[in-house]
Each structure stands twice: as C-alpha cells, then as structure tokens.
Structure 1
Amino acid sequence: MAKEKNIRVGISIGDPNGIGGEIILKAFEDPTMLELYTPVIFASTRLFSYYLKELDLSAKIHGIKSLNDVVPGKINVVRLLNEDFKVQWGQVDKKAGEVAVLSLRAAVTALKEEHIDVLVTAPINKESIQSEEFKFPGHTDYLNQELEGESLMFMVSESLRVGLLTDHLPISEVSKNITAKTIKTKIGTIKESLKKDFAISRPKIAVLGINPHVGDNGVIGTDDQDKLIPALEELREDGNIIFGPYAADAFFGSANYKNFDAILASYHDQGLVPFKTLSFGSGVNFTAGLSHVRTSPDHGTGFDIAGKNEANAGSMIAAIHTAANIFRNRTMYDKLTSNVLKSQSRKRREY
C-alpha cells in the first residue's frame, strides 16, 4: 500500500503578542505530528526562537527563505519579517496587528498557489489588525474575498457542527441581514460541506429560530414566520432533510443536537455559546464553502495568559487534524465524482 501523503499545513501566526506562537510550537512537540504533517509557519526564525527561549519549549524550528525549501519532518518557518518585532505579551498593539496581517496575506497567497495544502490560522486581535489596507472583522471575511466560493463560519468538533446564518454583526443588524436567499444559500453550503468535507451522503440539518420561542406565532417578533419558516418549507419541498426551526433555549440542553449532522444558528452567540460550552478546547473554526481548506482554534488570543506557558494546544492540534481530514475527504470526493462524470460521458458516447 502506498504511503499516505504528508500534508503541508500552512500556519499564520495570528497576534504575536498572544498565545499563537506557543500553541503552534506545542502542537508539534510530539514527533508523531511531524510524521503526518509538514508545518510551514509564516513568521520569522528570530520571533520563534524568542518564543522557544521565553516559554522553555522543546520544539526545534527550521528556517527557510523560500517555499521551495520546505523540508518534510521539520517545523519550517518562512523568514517573512524583515525587521525585529518586540513581543509585548498580552498587549493590543498596531505593530502586532501588522505582523498578523502580513503573515495571513503570505499564507493565503501560498494556499492559492498550492505551495501548501491547507491553512490553519492562529487567533488574531480584531482591533489591532484594522488599517486602511485591511478592513475586515475577522479571518472569514478576508478569506471570502481572497478565495473562490461563499464562506460559512462552521464550528466543528467530534460530536457537534454549528454553522452561522450571520456571524460578526451587532445584534441590532442580525434580523435585517437574514433573507430567504441567505437562508437557502447557507443551508446549501452546509449540505455541500457535509457531503464533500465530512463524507455524509444524506445530511440531516437542524435550524434554530431567530426570535425567542421561534417568535411564539408572532407574539415575539415575526421574523421566523415571515422569513425562516417559508424558506425552510421550500427547501424541504426540494428534497432537503431540514428540521426546525427549533427554539434555541432548550435545543442544546435537551441534547437534541445529537440527532443531527449539523445545526444552523441564526446569529453568532446563539451558536457559539453552546458550541464552546460543549466543545471548548477541542473545537475548531472551519471556513466552509470556499475553494481551499482553512481552520482555526475555537479560542482567541489568550492575552491574559500570554507569555506564561499556560496555553493548551488542544484546539490547535484539533484544527490541524480537522484541516487534514477535510482535505483528504475533498480529494476523495473530487476523485469519485470525477470518475462518475467520466463514466457517464463514456456511456453517452457509446450510446
């Protein structure tokens, strides 16, 4: 049997004043990880040498000048930064934001040019990254611009998958951004992702209501009756296995989520509060719907523990494993569907 491909995992460092560098290095302290994956970190050897010394970590890095110099079995660090950056643990700093954006841009370019197979992003600080050149509330919106497809924020763990109908919006903006088109598009993206990325042939999807108690038949708002319910009925008529809308307050506590392959939440906290409660430390933020695979840990920059060697790398490790599994599933899906199309084409010619 041929040996499985060692997957090239590109990693952007996130905010260098946070725990990103720590969890990246801790993720690859286990030699087994380097047997499965080839990490390519977009930063500088000077910065990561500093992390190793300050945090007393045992990993060994390999500096490279070019992506053509990547070595399997090594923690490759691309020499991206031309000037010294002074780490200020736990501080919101514009210079740190510039470093985070520089790393992200370089990693995304490498992804598009197929120098890496998947992208894993360490956490950024949404305040420090803002500039005239970079005006995005987070990774997802930037990736949606740079890669083909329509992005969906999809939080995944071994037992739970939660997609978001709207993501980084003020609560006052949620309702006006929910339309029949958005509902159908997001559910279509979840369904496609479950089939291609998670190898689920007939996905079952649950949808949470917009208003408390799904609006109580219009008593607490009419968004569910006017927008959500009609859209779901149309989707079911087209053969989609869609359930709901469910009242969000009891859905997770009753363990009803275990009956479905994925859940679509109407807004950020409706989905992420229960997800992180149930999966924190092992959950992964996956950007579904795009032409390339990107994942991230399910937590933030950890400024409160930065520089203390207290960060847990579990979610970063899960993000790496998840990205690789999705990449393999997509590769297999594309191969199978390609074979089917070739077979159909051959039959038509014979006919």
Structure 2
Amino acid sequence: MKENQKINLGISIGDLNGIGCEVALKTFEDPRMLDFCTPIIFASNKTVSHQKSDLGIEMTFNGVRDASQAVEGKINIVNVWKEVPKIEYGQATQEGGSYAIKSLRAAVSALKDGSIDVLVTAPINKNNIQSEDFKFPGHTDYLAQELNGESLMFMVADTLRVGLLTDHIAVKDVAQAITPSLVRHKIATMEKSLKMDFGIRRPRIALLGINPHSGDNGTIGEEDDKILKPIITELFHKGTLVYGPYSADSFFGSDNHKNFDAILAAYHDQGLIPFKTLSFGKGVNYTAGLDKVRTSPDHGTAYEIAGKGQADNSSFKEAVFMAIEVFKNRTEYMELSKNPLKKQKTKRAS
C-alpha cells in the first residue's frame, strides 16, 4: 500500500441466499465509509445489481476485472463470474454455497498477492460449501491453510476479547484435542496478537477450565490439573501474564472477564455463548495469528430474513472498522520493531 493511499478492503460476498450481500451494501450505502477505505467486493456486477434492486438500496459501483484496478472513492466490484447464478433467498442451496466459495477463493488470492490489504468475509453456510475441492468446516480453517502463521479464532467487541483453544470440532473430541503443545501455541498467538494488533504492551490473559469447576481437583476430570495448571505456571514464570484455569460457569456472570485483556476458552460454545450474550450484533470474528488481516461479523447467513431488507449491518460495519484498525496497528508495530528509536523520538517530541 502506498503512503496516504486508503486501505484496500476486500469483501467476500458469502452465501448469495443469505444476508451477506445486504449487510455489505448497507454498510457502504453511507458514502462517509469511503473516507476510511476503498471497498472491493468479489462477486459480479449483475449479481450485486440484482440484490441491490431486490433490497431497494440506492448506490452506484465500479466494475473491474481485477482488484488492482479498484478506484479509490468508489465501491468496486471484481467480476469473479460472468454468469447469473439463481438467487433463492432463505434457501441453503448447493449453488449458493458454490458461489460463496468462488468469491472467497478470489478474495484470498487478492489478499495473498497484495491487491487488497485486509479481508472481511460475509457469512457462509458450513454445510452447502462442502465439495470435492473444498472440505473445510469454515473460513478459519481454510484461511489457516492458505495464509502463514498460527490461526486463532478471536471474538472481539470493544474490550471483550474471547479466543478459542478448539473451535469447530465436536464436543466429544475436545478433551483429547487439548494438548500441552496446543495450549502453549494458542496462548502465544493470543499474546502476540494483543500486543501487535491491539497495542496492549503487557496483556493479561485468563484461561477457562476444560471441565466443570475446572475439574474440582480431579474429581470431575483430570485435564485441568494435568495440562492447564502446569502450563499456566510455566508460562507465568517466563513472563506471560496468564491466569487460571477459571471455572467457566461463573467467570462472566461475576464480571471477572473485565479484569483481563482477553479470555481463552476451551471450546466453541464455552466461549461464544457468553460472548454473544454480552455483545450480539456488535461483535467481530477475527482470525488472529496469520500474516494477513481477516474479520467477519459475529452472525450467520440469517436465512429467515434474507431478501427482506431487515438485516442489521452493525456487526459487519464493526468488522470493517476493526480490519482497518488492526491493519494500522500492525503496520505501526512492524515499523517500530524495525526502528525502535522512532518510538523514542516520537515520545520526546510529544
């Protein structure tokens, strides 16, 4: 990205039968959003025009063949396909899933070659995206394969940040999946992201227990005593401010989460139920730990309201703003890491 150039923000369109296109268009229907970034939607002129007309959204856009041709100050559409796919709002069709992946693949390719700086992904259906050449349970797993780094599913809403040790796996497989190596890697990824992406110099991390009451000293499972506690002690002595394991059932209700910069939950629902209860509609799903920035709204395809113009774009807009903020924070962090004297000079000047 050139100096003073706005951030090129790529958008994968998600399931065409869901609310992905709607929340994206509603976000950039406000022309002031173009002051923050150059939006680049990966779909087709005809597909976006169709949805725009159905939803009664008034806006103009600029069609391009490649993200590198995007024009600053306009909403850009990269024409990933020429045909006109059938749109069946509210239906989980194979065609809807197929075009969601076409959009995602094109957007990730542009992210990798630098044509876009950050990626915001609209919601997909984890079932209808499956095919012979795409066998991933969701965005995070696909991005982890395509991009460099150690991925962490990180849910963020203002100062509430919840990461996951395990994400899209069955509950019956959770305990076996949580190994000392996994715990160390996830804590390290979270700590690095808090410093690099959120500007927190000495982050405090809380680790939630795997079993009810964190195992009650081995009465309800031994994983907390044998895996989590030794690692917490080990890392704390090395300088990582990680605490726990905390009993998950009372952690959020007692407001203990406010004492930490981030919380690492053992499995999907343990972390996401309290997160969405506290922040639904304002949360952002951030894939931390990768060499590129990707965010997403905290909701799904919402088939039940698709095509009706009722979708709330608040979470998508938050995902846009967070992608921009993280990109800027990360860029500044990298610059300061290369030239630590720059930070000292800035402090003296102020």
Q: Same fold (TM over 0.5)?
A: yes
Offset, 1:342: 10
Cross-structure match for 1:332: 332
- Cα distance in 2 for residues equivalent to 1:4 and 1:209: 46
1:8 paired to 2:8: yes
Given the alignment of the two structures, is residue 97 of structure 1 paired with residue 97 of structure 2, yes or no? yes
- 1:6, CA displacement in angstroms? 1.2
Question: Is 1:177 equivalent to 2:177 in the alignment?
Answer: yes
Matched, 1:263 2:263: yes
Question: Which runs of 5 or more residues in structure 2 are unaligned?
Answer: 344-350
CA root-mean-square deviation: 1.5
SS at match of 1:308: coil
Instruction: Please list, as runs of the form range in 1=range in 2, the aligned pairs for 1:181-196 lying within 5 A after superposition.
Output: 181-196=181-196
Provide the C-alpha distance between the structure 2 equivalents of 1:177 and 1:342, rounded to a whole number of angstroms. Answer: 43
C-alpha deviation, 1:59, in angstroms: 2.5
SS state at 1:304 partner: helix
Cα distance in 2, alignment partners of residues 68 and 168 from structure 1: 34
Q: Give the match for residue 73 of structure 2.
A: 73
Alignment of 1:1-351 (within 5 A): 4-340=4-340
Give the whole-Å Cα distance in 1 for the aligned partners of 2:342 and 2:49: 51
Structure 1 stretches lacking a partner, 5+ long: 344-351
In 1: Cα distance, 2:260 partner to 2:254 partner: 13
| 1:16/1:99 contact within 8 Å kept | yes
2:168 partner SS? coil
The CA deviation at 1:200 is: 0.3
The alpha carbon displacement at 1:208 in A equals 0.4
* Partner Cα distance (1:49, 1:108) in 2: 23
d(CA) in 2 for partners of 1:76 and 1:300? 24
Give me the whole-angstrom Cα distance separating, in 2, the residues matched to 1:154 and 1:66. 30
1:254 to partner: Cα distance: 0.8
State the shift of 1:11 in Å: 0.4
Provide the rounded CA distance (Å) in 1 between the counterparts of 2:274 and 2:106.
34
1:195 Cα shift? 0.3
1:45-93, Cα deviation, whole Å (9 max, x unpaired): 1011011110001222221122232111111001111211010001111
Matched position secondary structure for 1:28? helix
SS at match of 2:120: strand
Give 1:95 shift. Answer: 1.0
**1:26 touches 1:59 (CA, 8 Å); kept in 2?**
no
CA contact (8 A) 2:336 2:342 kept: no
Aligned residues: 342
Task: Give the Cα–Cα distance (whole angstroms) in 2 for the partners of residues 279 and 59 of structure 1.
Answer: 30
SS in 2 for 1:294: strand
How far did residue 335 of structure 1 move?
0.3
Q: Distance in 2 between matches of 1:250 and 1:323?
A: 31
SS in 1 for 2:107: helix
* Mapped partners of 2:105, 2:245: distance in 1: 38
What displacement does 1:27 show? 0.4
2:316 alignment partner, SS class: helix
What TM-score, normalized by structure 1, do the two folds share?
0.95
| Superimposed CA distance per residue, residues 271-321 of structure 1 (whole angstroms, 9 cap, x where no aligned partner) | 000000111111000000000000000000010100110000000000000
Stretch moving more, 259-268 or 78-87:
78-87
Provide the rounded CA distance (Å) in 2 between the counterparts of 1:107 and 1:220.
45
Contact 1:19 1:311 in 2 (8 A): yes
Matched residue type, 2:90: G
Identity %, equivalent residues:
57
TM-superposed deviation, 1:30? 1.0
Determine if contact 2:205/2:262 at 8 Å carries over to the other structure.
Answer: yes
Give the 3 Å change call, closer, same or farther, for CA 3–194 of structure 1 in structure 2.
same
| Shift in CA distance, 26/214, structure 1 to aligned 2, threshold 3 Å | same
